[in-house]
Amino acid sequence: MSNIQFPANFINSLSNAPGFDAQKFIAAHQNSPSPTTIRANPYKPAPIYKGVQVPWCPEGFYLAERPSFTFDPLFHAGCYYVQEASSMFIAHILQYIRSENDDTLKVLDLCAAPGGKSTLLSSALNSDDLLVANEIIKTRVPILTDNLTKWGPSNIIASNNDPKDFNRLKGFFDIILVDAPCSGSGMFRKDPDAMNEWSEANVNLCHQRQERILADIYPALAGDGYLIYSTCSYSVAENEAVLDWLCTEFDLESIRISINKEWGIVESQSDRHKAWGYRFYPGKVQGEGLFAACLRKTTATGSNPSNYKNKNTQKPDYKSIDLLKPYIKDADNYYYFKVGDDWLAIDREHKDALGILQQHLYLKKSGVRLGSIAGKDLVPDHELALSLIINKDAVLQTGLTREQAIAYLRRDNIPDLDPTEKGWSLMTFENQPLGWAKLLPNRINNYYPKEMRILASPPAL
């Protein structure tokens, strides 16, 4: 039992928070450690340990203890994502929206880095849906794109824009998730250092920033579209008060999401508009603090995305495309395009959306980067190795043991590996691709990206 020192006035400030039980809350912070949870990648089934299921997310699992994820090759292969359990509730909201709507969806995750909720949304989408994962802070974009690359789908675009840049895309998105920057009290148990940043003044600043972000992004929501709002704060000012403001300022109605009482989630309603919100408190749920709500735009107006023209005039280079196609499963389902020297592919149905987004946003990842063509050969990109679209039968594969896989991921010499075949090879562990290597007569060139390599030393066996 640890004696936890919350910031001054923190507990008092929550006296108006729906369902807040100070005793239970303090006890959970003192006595129960934060559970470790992972979410399995449905597209990369692998022999991962699965513990007890997270009640609101079938792909989420509580682990009995925290293993070393860094030294698990399947973690690097994108077979699962380590994610806090309460955050997985967004999957439950998406399931509701799906049950109401069987159209194809254009989804924006506005505040996306490091990508936990983007990978969660991606698992719930079909290949004819499109996900745009945006992050405003440039230095946070690489962790987002790395996580999306590991997850593997080809129907994701990542951008690095300010919310107000989306003003150029009026009515474009059917679903917008705003997982807003917040005062972070929901993470106090997992990350006690977050307490140093907390103050009532900061809660107010966060509230103002949340309103600004929402006002900037609202025009990009399609008529009848859904806005999902979430924070990891317990403060009413950042949650129910923001819902009241949204319902006052914009044409939005609150959506009630059905939940199972046994899950321990607190259903709240805002003072003025009685908008529904879902609160997660440690001590009531097996997870950290979260607030989530779903609203729908009541006007069917908003610009029609088909008003936007794809002005992309890149002429197809059929010779190069024919060279690429053998590397891709169901190759005719993709649109192939060039950025600089590299070839990329995205699901054919997203060609127009891609062209529009290329005009209006600063794109950092579009579908899957396949690689460049040198003479008659493809110099394959890391994204292709980890993607779901690669035709593994078209390439050499080298299966690695756990020890060899860790050496490969560290860019060390791979012990006891003497392959007979030569050339580009997909390096795999348990049949899951980790990246590329070039097998040469007297050495192996490791193409695992330097910036993604494992830096820590492996534990002694």
Ligand X SMILES: C[S@@+](CC[C@H](N)C(=O)[O-])C[C@H]1O[C@@H](n2cnc3c(N)ncnc32)[C@H](O)[C@@H]1O
Residue 8: CB minimum distance to ligand X, A: 24
Quick check: 219 binds ligand X (CB under 6 A)? no
Q: Which stretch binds ligand X (CB under 6 A): 42-50, 51-59, 109-117, 245-253?
A: 109-117
Residue 182: CB minimum distance to ligand X, A: 7
Task: Please list every residue from 69 through 98 that binds ligand X, using CB under 6 A.
Answer: 87
CA gap 422, 413 in Å, rounded: 17
Residue 177: CB minimum distance to ligand X, A: 8
Nearer to ligand X, 89 or 336 (CB): 89
Contact 427, 408 (CB under 8 A): yes
Nearer to ligand X, 77 or 214 (CB): 214
Which of 57, 111, 237, 345 binds ligand X (CB under 6 A)? It is: 111
Quick check: 187 binds ligand X (CB under 6 A)? no
β-strand pairing of 130-134 with 156-159: parallel
Q: Residue 242 belongs to what H/E stretch?
A: helix 240-249
Which of 38, 85, 108, 113 binds ligand X (CB under 6 A)? It is: 113
Contact 210, 230 (CB under 8 A): no
Task: Please list every residue from 116 through 135 that binds ligand X, using CB under 6 A.
Answer: 116-117, 135
Nearer to ligand X, 17 or 176 (CB): 176
Quick check: 137 binds ligand X (CB under 6 A)? yes
Which of 43, 48, 63, 140 binds ligand X (CB under 6 A)? It is: 140
Which of 55, 153, 163, 355 binds ligand X (CB under 6 A)? It is: 163
Q: Which stretch binds ligand X (CB under 6 A): 50-58, 105-113, 376-384, 424-432?
A: 105-113
Q: Count the residues in the chain.
A: 461
Quick check: 205 binds ligand X (CB under 6 A)? no
Quick check: 142 binds ligand X (CB under 6 A)? no
CA gap 418, 441 in Å, rounded: 10
Please name which of 445, 444, 425 lies closest in space to residue 436, comparing C-alpha atoms: 425
Q: Which stretch binds ligand X (CB under 6 A): 113-121, 242-250, 293-301, 385-393?
A: 113-121
Cα–Cα separations (whole angstroms), residue 341 to 31, 177, 321, 377 = 56, 33, 13, 13
Nearer to ligand X, 113 or 400 (CB): 113
Query: Is 232 considered catalytic here?
Result: yes
Residue 115: CB minimum distance to ligand X, A: 5
The residue to which tokens 């129907």 are assigned: 155
Nearer to ligand X, 135 or 174 (CB): 135
β-strand pairing of 130-134 with 377-380: unpaired
CB neighbour list of residue 307: distance below 8 Å, 6 or more residues apart: none
Task: Please list every residue from 382 through 411 that binds ligand X, using CB under 6 A.
Answer: none
Nearer to ligand X, 177 or 409 (CB): 177
Q: Which two tokens stand for residue 186?
A: 């929901």
Nearer to ligand X, 60 or 435 (CB): 60
Contact 334, 325 (CB under 8 A): no
Which of 72, 179, 288, 381 binds ligand X (CB under 6 A)? It is: 179
CA dihedral 438, 440, 444, 450 (to 10 degrees): -40
CB neighbour list of residue 220: distance below 8 Å, 6 or more residues apart: 108, 166, 167, 169, 170, 171, 172, 173, 176
Contact 148, 365 (CB under 8 A): yes
Quick check: 60 binds ligand X (CB under 6 A)? no
Annotated binding site: 111-117, 135, 162, 179
CA gap 121, 284 in Å, rounded: 25
Quick check: 296 binds ligand X (CB under 6 A)? no
Quick check: 181 binds ligand X (CB under 6 A)? yes
CA gap 5, 29 in Å, rounded: 10
Tell me, by CB under 6 A, how many residues bind ligand X: 17
Cα–Cα separations (whole angstroms), residue 154 to 130, 349, 355, 367, 388 = 9, 11, 16, 4, 7
Residue 254: CB minimum distance to ligand X, A: 22
Residue 402: CB minimum distance to ligand X, A: 28
Largest distance between two CA atoms of the chain: 73
Nearer to ligand X, 136 or 175 (CB): 136
CB neighbour list of residue 447: distance below 8 Å, 6 or more residues apart: 382, 435, 436, 437, 438
- Choose the catalytic residue: 57, 79, 182, 232: 232
Residue 212: CB minimum distance to ligand X, A: 7
Residue 138: CB minimum distance to ligand X, A: 10
Active-site annotation, residues: 232
Chain contacts with ligand X (rule: CB under 6 A): 87, 111-117, 135-137, 140, 163, 179, 181, 209, 213
